[in-house]
Amino acid sequence: MKANNFLELFYKQDVRFFSGVPDSCLSSLSNLLLKTKKKISHVMAPNEGAAVSLGIGYHLSTNKVPCIYMQNSGFGNATDPITNLCHKTVYDIPLILLIGWRGKPGTNDEPQHLTQGKTIRNTLKSYGIKYYDIQKLSEKKISDIIRKTKLKNQINAFLVDKEFFEKKTKIIQKKKKNEIYRSDAIKSLINHIPLNYKIVSSTGFNSREIMKQKKITNKVFYMIGAMGHTLSVSMGMFNTINKNVVCVDGDGSFYMHLGSFSLLNKSHKLIYYLLDNQSHESVGEVRLNYNINNIKSFAKAVGFRKYIQILNLSKLNNTLRNIKKFKLPIFIHVMTNIEQNRNLPRPKNLTKIKKEFIAIK
């Protein structure tokens, strides 16, 4: 289905509020919501629980039904407000959930999606949420479910696989917003980082780009899932290893769980290496519409000894070349371009990766 035709079904039923976290199964809809001229409210949330909570606030001010979108792997973030506030045994708040169905049984997908793909239906059922495989529904049936959600004050979920929305041919971006690409930033890190560092890299293209380099694979733990938890995993390693840690994160992951930064202290031998292209690139280049106005002030406030913003490759190389001169922890903020590279390798043999990472002293 075309995303604009799908959105029209909601618009006709007076569902005018959308919030969520972008997913590759839903990227056509997310991008449409960012640019549509229809009279709707759309808030891209940093995490799924925040999206549900925004929807609750909307309902409390309008008595209307919000629509919340997410990937099934992020459903766990949403369950607290769904069960403890929205459930019919509590405040009985209606919701329409659009859940990207990664790892749908019968389809090929990456290992981190298989468990959620198999269990999401049972999970929804255990919470008393009626779910629908959207591929099996006509437009009329979708409209009827939206209408029923409103009339009967229900929580209903549409499971949306990656083949549902019509795919648009991507247009190669000719104009560069920044001087540095993700691949430049990763190559520079690998070429200059001292040997006594371990690396934890965020889910998506950051980990895959590091894998492509093939130089330091046994020193890297690839976060193939658990978006937003890269920093927490990195900090959990302190006091147990002698090596310093580089946390390679993306901007979407950075915003998702900002509370993790409250755990930082000045004894942590951490380089926080943020690659910021202002988009959720790996799920369809969905542009971020939230930010912290002064990340430098944020970095200083949570305990980093130094914040360095990088706008060109020369400064990046020089910073990493002289990294031993800086007192840690340090926040290196690299502004990057979206990169048209879809042929990156994916981490395989995951238990082997874990064992080799642990074995490196």
Convert the pLDDT of each residue in 334-350 to its tens digit: 999 887 666 788 888 88
Q: Quote the CA–CA distance of 157 and 142 in Å, as a whole number.
A: 11
pLDDT tens digits, residue range 90-149?
999 999 999 999 989 888 777 777 888 899 999 999 999 999 999 999 999 999 999 999
Same domain, 200 and 303: yes
More confident residue, 65 or 73: 65
Do 46 and 141 share a structural domain? yes
pLDDT value for 231 = 95
Residues 95 and 27 in one domain: yes
Clarify whether residues 119 and 246 are in a common domain.
no
Q: What is the pTM of this model?
A: 0.86
Within a domain: 171: no
Does residue 146 sit in the same domain as residue 236?
no
**Exposed/middle/buried for residue 306 (C-beta within 10 Å: 0-12, 13-18, 19+):** middle
Co-location of 114 and 224 in the same domain: no
Lowest mean per-residue pLDDT among 19-33, 39-53, 316-330, 335-349: 335-349
Same domain, 23 and 139: yes
Q: Write down the pLDDT at residue 289.
A: 64
Q: Specify the higher pLDDT residue, 243 or 324.
A: 324
> How many other CB atoms are found less than 10 A from the CB of residue 83?
15
Task: Kindly state whether residues 136 and 233 are assigned to the same domain.
Answer: no
CATH of residue 82: 3.40.50.970
Say if residue 214 is in the same domain as residue 94. no
Q: Which domain holds residue 302?
A: 180-359
pLDDT, tens only, 311-323? 999 999 999 999 9
Residue 241 is predicted with a pLDDT of 65
Same domain, 196 and 118: no
Residues above pLDDT 90, as percent of the chain: 60
Residues 149 and 189 in one domain: no
Q: What is the pLDDT, as a whole number, of residue 242?
A: 64
Q: How far is CA 210 from the centre of its chain?
A: 18
The number of domains in the chain is 2
Are 29 and 98 spatial neighbours (Cβ–Cβ below 8 Å)? yes
The answer to whether the Cα torsion of 120, 123, 127, 129 is positive or negative is positive
Label the pairing between strands 286-287 and 279-280.
antiparallel
How far, in Å, CA of 79 to CA of 36, rounded? 29
Please state, in angstroms and rounded to a whole number, the distance separating the CA atoms of residues 214 and 233: 22
